[in-house]
Structure 1
Amino acid sequence: MKRNATAVWKGSLKEGKGVLTTQSKTLENTQYSFHSRFEEGVGTNPEELVAAAHSGCFTMQLSAYITEAGFEIESIETKCVINLLEGTIKESNLTVNAKIEGISDAAFQELVTKAEHNCPISKLFNTTITTSATLI
């Protein structure tokens, strides 16, 4: 399976602007710029998209492990914060809140760690990945 996205940029780094389009067209000519990346401008940015990818991938992997372990999932919510420092993504911090029927905290934490290490986006990173998980 292969997925793709396209970036088009026009102009210099600080004054220029770009658009991103994904294969699915979920993002279609979505604006990004220096201002949306390093300040508070309108549009998205690569780190926000990486955070979305990591939180989505991790959550799906965790749901697979929980289901495989025989538990029923009411909900899993994962927030990912990407820490960009001096031009390098230094960390990806995942915060998980989950409602799972009948699972112990110890079993849940074990599955969270397993998902953290095995989701495809986690495997892609050459960075520190941390996870904080709470059963509700």
Structure 2
Amino acid sequence: MSKMIFINLPVTDLAVSTRFYEALGVTKNPQFSNENAACMMLCDTIGVMILTHDFYRTFTSRPIADAKATSQTLLALTVEAHADVNRVVGAASAAGGRADPNPPQDHGFMWSRSVEDPDGHVWEIFWMDPAAAGGDTTGVDA
């Protein structure tokens, strides 16, 4: 069995957050979703569990951070093409997110923008030139 990773995020409104993540192009897995949580699969081995605050609290006694006021994690999601960065950020913004809480970054071989989910978790949406990703960084400053 392949290793899997699940990112668990507390959310205040499960329905609104589900729409946001679907706008990112993520697929909801109904087998592991209910009124307390939604399992949003990025691919076969990476999932984002969005959990209501009450349900999230069953896993930890620590206070839930306000992601709009603090940064506790940096999340990044690749897209297939340069133009997809703007498309995904636009769709996620239209679904309750906030575009560009951090400035866009253009490094020539990589283009990224960020989008904040309804609870303040920031996702970097980025495209990287496949030639640069394969190790061909000719002309790219380190």
Normalized against structure 2, the TM-score is what? Answer: 0.29
Larger proportion of strand: 1
Larger proportion of helix: 1
Larger radius of gyration: 1
Normalized against structure 1, the TM-score is what? Answer: 0.30
